[in-house]
Amino acid sequence: MSGKHQDTGRNDSNAGSNQMWGGRFAQGPSAIMREINASIPFDKALWRQDIAASKAHVAMLGAQGIVSANDAATISEGLDHVAEEYARDGVPEDWDLEDIHMTTEARLAELIGPVAGRLHTARSRNDQVATDFRLWVRDAIDQADAGLKALQLALVARAEEHAASIMPGFTHLQTAQPVTLGHHLMAYYEMIARDRSRLADARMRMNQCPLGSAALAGTGFPIDRNATAQALGFDGPTANSLDAVSDRDFALDYLMAASQVSLHLSRLAEEFIIWASQPFGFVRLPDSLSTGSSIMPQKKNPDAAELVRGHAGRVIGCATSLMITMKGLPLAYSKDMQDDKPPVFEAAGLLALSIAAMTGMVAESEFRTERMRQAAELGYATATDLADWLVREADIPFREAHHITGAAVKRAEADGVALDQLPLEVLQAIDSRIDERVYQALSIDASVASRASYGGTAPDQVKAQVARAKSRLDKE
């Protein structure tokens, strides 16, 4: 969107010139310029926001007496008609009209005649697109937040179902300590809660209205910027016209938040990919989110999860793209900023798909809890509990207890049994200070139950986490 000159609504032109550019240009743009300059193939996605902003603007012009009440009403009705056409037939792509703003104004002129030219009084395409784009990003934030809430609800429901289901907890993808599946799922609930807070912060910062900043310096017309801001649901108008037309921080804030969401979704997707593999066998993925192989009939591939994992890289790439576009631009508007929308539109589409896919995967997957428990039992996950017992009950320094426990694990491995299946005489041969009370600490159930500190994996703690989460979600 070029918009370097504040239009007055006149449509006079010399023969052969682009009427929207006015009489300044003797000839229309070359074929190359026409193609490189046109943004209508992608910015047509802004049509709803463009219509809404134009209606707010013309209502203000009418209220301020800048245009007559009759003209304001005619323009508003015409915009409603254009919106109906777009909703029914889509937005036409006439590259000579460059963008959604000129496309809408041209169609409005066809419908209502020269009075359409009054719509652009006291505004520029610079503040117009800045407003439309903010409105679009604000909608994208609201949609992402709603999707993430649905994912949280799915996580909480499955966590409540599996508050006491035991699985191995991992560090370095090696069995570390037993945890509950509910606790594991609630970890992602917390990640998504932070993601939603980042989106909310981005929305709060961006919720100021650029409309009325005109090309870069404001306008000499007696406009009411508070009225247009209020009509469009903004908290108020932007404070500096130069900043307002050249700011894309709001889009970057959204892309940064979207990138973090994608990282968390990618981690969750990776968990399901690993858990669904035959060596793990912790989960059966829903058929609706899996595919088969063209050659191997036994295969059930976690393609949806793998694509979520892949989409994260693309979303992060979108953020990087816009950062690089904006990094060296002087005030105010430059045509480079026409390239601000494709990465945001792409990221929003990928994010929506990823959120929906992982919500379905969490809600519909079948967790194989017996296999999870077996893996926890075979992985010597209660080794830390043995060391802690030696410290607590035998008053042994932790480093010494760590060494004794290592010897016990080595013996259990050699015998092919779990720690709690080692006979007492074998344990006492390793260290005589061990007595029969140790078995109260060595079972995976006892281990999990003992982790009852706030935020821990004990089933009672998981149920408390779930209750707090449900309460927070219910209050929204």
- Output phi, psi for 144, to 5 deg: -65, -40
Among 4-18, 217-231, 315-329, 335-349, which is the least confidently predicted range? 4-18
The answer to whether 162 is a known catalytic residue is: no
Average pLDDT, stretch 461-466? 97
Going by the DSSP 8-state scheme, the letter that residue 180 receives in this structure is E
Describe the chain by its helix, strand, coil percentages, rounded to 5.
Answer: 70, 5, 30
Report DSSP letters for 40-72, one per residue: HHHHGGGHHHHHHHHHHHHHHHHHTTSS-HHHH
Spot the catalytic one: 17, 101, 172, 354. 172
Q: What's the token pair of residue 411?
A: 């013996």
Tell me how far apart the alpha carbons of residues 301 and 72 are, in angstroms, rounded to a whole number.
58
Spot the catalytic one: 30, 54, 293, 450. 293
CB atoms within 10 A of CB 47: 22
% of residues, the chain, pLDDT over 70 = 92
Q: Using alpha carbons only, give the angle 353, 355, 359 rounded to the nearest 5 degrees.
A: 115
The answer to whether 293 is a known catalytic residue is: yes
**pLDDT tens digits for 147-179?**
999 999 999 999 999 999 999 999 898 888 899
Tell me how far apart the alpha carbons of residues 229 and 18 are, in angstroms, rounded to a whole number.
32
Collapsing DSSP to helix, strand or coil, 54 comes out as helix
Nearest to 108 by CA among 136, 134, 80: 80
In order of 209, 248, 284, the CA distances from 228 in angstroms are: 8, 20, 53
Among 17-21, 227-231, 233-237, which is the least confidently predicted range? 17-21
180 forms beta bridges with 166
**pLDDT tens digits for 404-437?**
999 998 998 898 888 888 899 999 999 989 988 8
Among 289-298, 339-348, 459-468, which is the least confidently predicted range? 289-298
How much is the pLDDT for 3?
39
pTM of the model: 0.86
Going by the DSSP 8-state scheme, the letter that residue 170 receives in this structure is E
How much is the pLDDT for 442?
83
In order of 64, 79, 129, the CA distances from 441 in angstroms are: 78, 73, 65
**pLDDT tens digits for 357-377?**
999 999 999 999 999 999 998
Average pLDDT, stretch 342-366? 97
pLDDT at 5 over 90: no
